[in-house]
Structure 1
Amino acid sequence: MDENEISIINSKDFPKVSEVLQNFVNNNENKFAFPHLSENNMRISLWAALFEHLQEKSAESIHTDCLTTLRVLSRDKTEVENLICERWMITLIEKAGLYNFIDPSEDITENEMPSKEIAVEALKCLCNIAFNSEVARALCAHTSMAQGLVARLRSYKEIPYKEDIIIFDMKLLFILTALRQDIRAKIKNELHGMDYLISCLGELVSESLKVGEEASGGSQQVILNDQQVAIACEILKTQFNMMYHSGPEEPVTAEEEAMCLKLMPVLTSLLMAETHTWEKLMELHSNIANLLTSVPSEFYEYLSPKCNDGEQVKHLYDGRNMEAIHGLLQLMQHRLTITTSTSVQYENLSPILTVLNKSARSVRAQRKYLRQTVLPPLRDVSRPPEKGSTLRNQLCRLLTTPVTSVRDLVAEFLFILCKEKVGRMVKYTGFGNAAGHLAQKGLMCGGRGPVQYSSSSEDSDTEEYLEAQPHIDPVVGCTRPPRVNPFENMTEEQKEYEAMKLVNLFDKMLSDGVVKPATIGPDGKPKPMEHVLEMRENPPNRPQS
């Protein structure tokens, strides 16, 4: 766009203005930077002309073109802090129809709302500007935008094109709650935004359930289309922003307890829902897992509701519906499959591992279901635990990852599934893989953790395992083929020579600081030795099963 075109935009010849704006949008739909507009203050002139038209009723015929152009321009962060002002923000808020919902005494009619095209484009502009400008976010806090967004949460049923604007309302709410602490606190505490967001999710589930009944001959199945998945994900992200900052160590208040009691059944229904594609299902489950990391563990029991008599479910355990837990396991399997680099391990695996840890530790039935899925009874023990494609194999590989936070989460998860018994942990992972975690716990000499589990046995060994058990090497966690004795056919002099070579190599490693001998201290953790002779005085105990 050049100065001549900007001059046309400043004119009142609306057909020509519309033509110039449409050409600009068509030519720049996929661009995110416009450096040439910094010359001769063209950017300032262009923005000012567009907002002048938006504020004039006589220019209504080009309002959509103006907003579409602003939506494209607002992707560029250049000079946006100096461009934006309160008057322009209020103009966009009005065009988005947010002020229509602040006064509860007034009825909302279709005529009072802006057209769908105007409202959607205005919301897109607000999202871009709020994301790129701290000044704009401060103006959002100063105006009544938050009140308008929350008030509209209660009134979507009255809007004929609600599905077209709710997604951008949620995107705007997510941006504001993520980047402005004052707006986040106001929406959560003063405006009770969490309650309305939960209600929106509940309505989404109810609407999808009706579709499911029609599509499958009366079966009670939630089926979400792609647009509904996108809306649900934006709501879940906004809820995460508001719950994450409440502090996981703080005691649960009565208000938070009531909120969680309303939230958990909705999340459970979403975890049991179906989508049109696998990618959308994993996106939905991923956002649910992120939110569950901030939910206190005492509410996790609602993820596995009790089944009614005669109720048909795919994943039943101990009289409970484990569909939601199965959905979380699917997410973990998916994340393990797509995580091929250590650089993304924490981002991809930390949320779902945190959720499954809380689930296994807090709810006995869920732990037992996870145990039978992740650590089923052993049959083939000819390969090391980390070799293979099962969930157990993939998790055992992560026990030696250099990403310590992920390694600790995986080790803790497997340890909980083993009822925090050292012998059982070693059995399923091998002592070499489990050693680091056991050392941290002070359990190198065996025993079990401090948590008390039920005494009923869940570890019925298979015939194949019992037959191979005498030949299993506990360090690697599998059987080893018979090895040739290296000292066979050696004279005593040759054996002594090889032994001294080993002693000299070990001494060199000690001198260079490559290794440092240790023994097990009274607390069960490794303790460095000052001298190798300490091993004669305090011989290490054998690990207990």
Structure 2
Amino acid sequence: MDLNNILSQLETANEEDIEKLLQQYNRENSDTFAFDQKEETLRSKLCQSVLTVLGRQVQPSCQKTCLETLRILSRDKRVLAPVATREGMLILGGMAKLRAGEEEGGDRSSQEDSQSEEEERVVVEALKCLCNVVYNSPAAQQVSVDVQLAHGLCASLRVAHTWHHEVGLFSLRLLFLLSALRPDLRGVLRREWHAVRLLSEVLEHTLDVRWVGPYEAARPDPQAPPMPAEDNERAMEALKALFNLTLSYTGGEEDDHQFRLIAAILRHLLMLRTETEEKTEEAHSHAVNLLNNLPVSCLDVLIEVPIQGGQEKYGGKNMDAVQVLLDFMEKRIDKQGSNYKEGLTPVLNLLTEGSRHHREIRRYIKAQVLPPLKDVKIRPEIGTTIRNKLVRLMTHVDMGVKQTAAEFLFVLCKESVDNLLKYTGYGNAAGLLVARGLLAGGRGETQYSEDEDSDTEEYKSAKPFINPITGHVEEPMPNPIEEMTEEQKEYEAQKLVNMFDKLSRQNVIRPMGVRPDGTLAPLEETLCDPPEDNSGSDSD
């Protein structure tokens, strides 16, 4: 349709004609995402005209059609100036039933119940428009803060149990967008509008959590059907919003209860299954991201499930949730073409910190990832075990992935260099040891329990023959100088010395040594370091 024709008709058409005109435009442009730049001014004027119609008292069917048009137009960030105003955002906020002044949920709940299906569609379309406009317009983001749109959303959260699916979904998505795009809003949402508690309650309701202890949810029935797709969608939006609100927030003593409650809800989520494996993995990914934001002391909630029984070997703790996280980690490692930095490092970080601060978690994970060595004839990075996969990551091209995988294994080894080398070989571990200044051996600074690692008889018998660089027993190689005469040996040795001298003089290589503190330094510096004087300065 010609936009000039639409604009001229909108000025004089009645409500019924406006609806028909815009319905035709919507049908022709419903799949449009790339707009003609030449018509940018006309589309901006259409935005203004549609807002003018919405500002009048028109029927819900006409409101819905106008909002559908505005939603299509709002995909183009260049035409949003008329909408990204106080008047425009208040009109959309009103259509979405988001009024900051509505503190109590009673009136809103009765309004929700009395809404017709068409009126509900108006609310949904208005929320969709707000999501598009806020995402595409920094000016609209500022206006949203000025008119306290997030406050209206929090008022809406108080009656989340009355939501129809799409109303809840897009309300949560709008809150996620505002908290993501306006970091300055997060503190206000936490302190003044108690958004963390409200979102936790939304999750409880959506996931059908039934408490049987202070931080213990009833175990999901294995025979129960999987979580419905709609519930899963709303839960994911709530998790994303909670992630933003807890990002870089340590909280105080009064927040500890709320954090532990969230950890318990996330444990329940890890035990649930959805309609597809892909959706279950997505849910676990969001749960991992949020768990990383919680204080590490709260992670004990994941294993404190006494009513369902635990494993005596691990202090009677229940390791079901930890096993789910391990399975999730291995799936992310095996996923072909995946972005390890975004998909894998969060769960590696979570398991690393959990192992560093909770002895039972570390012991359980080590038993799964680094079981006692038996076959040491194969290089540590070759094979299909989870240990082999993690050792391969220690030499990954991405520095972040490499360091995270190495740190995880190092913590499982109680930050003991000797233990790490036993499972990975010096060649794979060198990068971590250089970064930590531990080339000379020793331990990290974290204190661990004194329980001893038990070596298998197979490992003990093979240990003297293990190549410390490769971490495995190598087949004996023929000695290349065995059949040489003494003169030939001297000639080859001198040739090697000359080659190194030439490369050193040309600065191609620089001989390095190890200082007593384990750090690398030019060889001449390490040779010139004076020996330590242990005799003391006092005389008897």
- The two structures have a TM-score, normalised by structure 1, of 0.88
| Unmatched tracts of structure 2, length 5 or more | 212-218, 532-540
Deviation readout 1:68-97 (Å, 9 max, x if unpaired): 111111011113235532112111111111
Distance 2:343 2:207 in 1: 27
- Identify the residue that residue 28 of structure 1 maps to in structure 2: 29
Distance 1:313 1:10 in 2: 72
Q: Does 1:491 align with 2:516?
A: no
For the 8 Å contact 1:81–1:134, the answer to whether it is kept is: no
- Identify the residue that residue 202 of structure 2 maps to in structure 1: 200
Q: State the one-letter code of the partner of 2:130.
A: L
Higher mean C-alpha displacement, 218-227 vs 87-96: 218-227
- Identify the residue that residue 325 of structure 1 maps to in structure 2: 322
Q: Does 1:508 align with 2:509?
A: no
SS of 2:513's partner is: strand
Q: Does 1:69 align with 2:41?
A: no
Task: Please list, as runs of the form range in 1=range in 2, the aligned pairs for 1:446-457 lying within 5 A after superposition.
Answer: 446-457=441-452
Q: Does 1:360 align with 2:361?
A: no
For the 8 Å contact 2:176–2:240, the answer to whether it is kept is: yes
SS of 1:496's partner is: helix
Distance 1:31 1:394 in 2: 44
Distance 2:87 2:446 in 1: 60
**Cα distance, 1:293 vs structure 2:** 1.9
Q: 1:111 pairs with 103, 110, 114, which one?
A: 114
**Cα distance, 1:355 vs structure 2:** 0.9
Distance 1:82 1:390 in 2: 59
SS of 2:323's partner is: helix
Distance 1:129 1:80 in 2: 7
- Identify the residue that residue 87 of structure 1 maps to in structure 2: 87
Q: 1:529 pairs with 523, 526, 531, which one?
A: 523
Residues 1:450 and 1:145: Cα distance change in structure 2 (over 3 Å)? closer
Q: Does 1:473 align with 2:467?
A: yes
Distance 1:340 1:510 in 2: 41
- Identify the residue that residue 126 of structure 2 maps to in structure 1: 122
SS of 2:524's partner is: coil
- Identify the residue that residue 535 of structure 2 maps to in structure 1: none
Residues 1:253 and 1:468: Cα distance change in structure 2 (over 3 Å)? same
Residues 1:453 and 1:312: Cα distance change in structure 2 (over 3 Å)? closer
**Cα distance, 1:122 vs structure 2:** 0.6
Residues 1:208 and 1:336: Cα distance change in structure 2 (over 3 Å)? farther
Distance 1:217 1:156 in 2: 22
Deviation readout 1:287-310 (Å, 9 max, x if unpaired): 1221222211111111112332xx
Distance 2:100 2:82 in 1: 29
Higher mean C-alpha displacement, 261-270 vs 514-523: 514-523
Higher mean C-alpha displacement, 270-279 vs 113-122: 113-122
Higher mean C-alpha displacement, 411-420 vs 225-234: 225-234
- Identify the residue that residue 177 of structure 2 maps to in structure 1: 175
Q: State the one-letter code of the partner of 2:493.
A: A
For the 8 Å contact 1:443–1:525, the answer to whether it is kept is: yes
Q: State the one-letter code of the partner of 1:257.
A: D
- Identify the residue that residue 216 of structure 2 maps to in structure 1: none
SS of 2:78's partner is: coil
- Identify the residue that residue 132 of structure 1 maps to in structure 2: 136
**Cα distance, 1:255 vs structure 2:** 2.5
Distance 1:12 1:150 in 2: 38
- Identify the residue that residue 148 of structure 1 maps to in structure 2: 152
For the 8 Å contact 2:207–2:231, the answer to whether it is kept is: no
Q: State the one-letter code of the partner of 1:360.
A: S
Q: State the one-letter code of the partner of 2:403.
A: D
SS of 2:475's partner is: coil
Distance 1:372 1:340 in 2: 29
**Cα distance, 1:464 vs structure 2:** 3.8
For the 8 Å contact 2:380–2:471, the answer to whether it is kept is: yes
Residues 1:327 and 1:105: Cα distance change in structure 2 (over 3 Å)? closer
Residues 1:218 and 1:299: Cα distance change in structure 2 (over 3 Å)? closer
**Cα distance, 1:397 vs structure 2:** 1.5
Q: Using the aligned pairs only, state the percent identity.
A: 37
Distance 2:483 2:242 in 1: 72
Task: Please list, as runs of the form range in 1=range in 2, the aligned pairs for 1:327-406 lying within 5 A after superposition.
Answer: 327-338=324-335, 340=337, 344-406=339-401
Deviation readout 1:316-364 (Å, 9 max, x if unpaired): 94422212212222222122223647xx432233322221111010111
- Identify the residue that residue 258 of structure 1 maps to in structure 2: 257
Q: Does 1:186 align with 2:188?
A: yes
Residues 1:402 and 1:508: Cα distance change in structure 2 (over 3 Å)? farther
Deviation readout 1:240-284 (Å, 9 max, x if unpaired): 1111142x5xxx412322321221111111122111212111111
Distance 2:292 2:160 in 1: 29
Residues 1:22 and 1:227: Cα distance change in structure 2 (over 3 Å)? same
Residues 1:514 and 1:237: Cα distance change in structure 2 (over 3 Å)? farther
Distance 1:465 1:221 in 2: 46
Distance 2:229 2:32 in 1: 26
Distance 1:270 1:221 in 2: 14
Q: State the one-letter code of the partner of 1:294.
A: N
Distance 2:68 2:311 in 1: 48
Q: 1:430 pairs with 410, 425, 428, which one?
A: 425
**Cα distance, 1:37 vs structure 2:** 6.2
Q: Does 1:290 align with 2:270?
A: no
- Identify the residue that residue 98 of structure 2 maps to in structure 1: 98
For the 8 Å contact 1:197–1:239, the answer to whether it is kept is: yes
For the 8 Å contact 2:440–2:516, the answer to whether it is kept is: no
Q: State the one-letter code of the partner of 1:297.
A: V
SS of 2:114's partner is: coil
For the 8 Å contact 2:209–2:268, the answer to whether it is kept is: no
Residues 1:276 and 1:509: Cα distance change in structure 2 (over 3 Å)? farther
Deviation readout 1:468-516 (Å, 9 max, x if unpaired): 3333211101121121110122122222222122212222332233332
- Identify the residue that residue 541 of structure 1 maps to in structure 2: none
Q: What root-mean-square deviation, in Å, do the aligned CA atoms of Structure 1 and Structure 2 show?
A: 2.8
| Unmatched tracts of structure 1, length 5 or more | 210-215, 539-545
SS of 1:274's partner is: coil
- Identify the residue that residue 212 of structure 1 maps to in structure 2: none
Distance 1:278 1:316 in 2: 31
- Identify the residue that residue 279 of structure 1 maps to in structure 2: 278
Q: State the one-letter code of the partner of 1:330.
A: D
Residues 1:26 and 1:504: Cα distance change in structure 2 (over 3 Å)? farther
Residues 1:97 and 1:468: Cα distance change in structure 2 (over 3 Å)? same
- Identify the residue that residue 234 of structure 2 maps to in structure 1: 231
Distance 1:504 1:489 in 2: 23
Distance 1:217 1:433 in 2: 42
For the 8 Å contact 2:100–2:149, the answer to whether it is kept is: no
For the 8 Å contact 1:120–1:164, the answer to whether it is kept is: yes
Distance 2:310 2:5 in 1: 68
Residues 1:46 and 1:208: Cα distance change in structure 2 (over 3 Å)? farther
**Cα distance, 1:368 vs structure 2:** 0.7
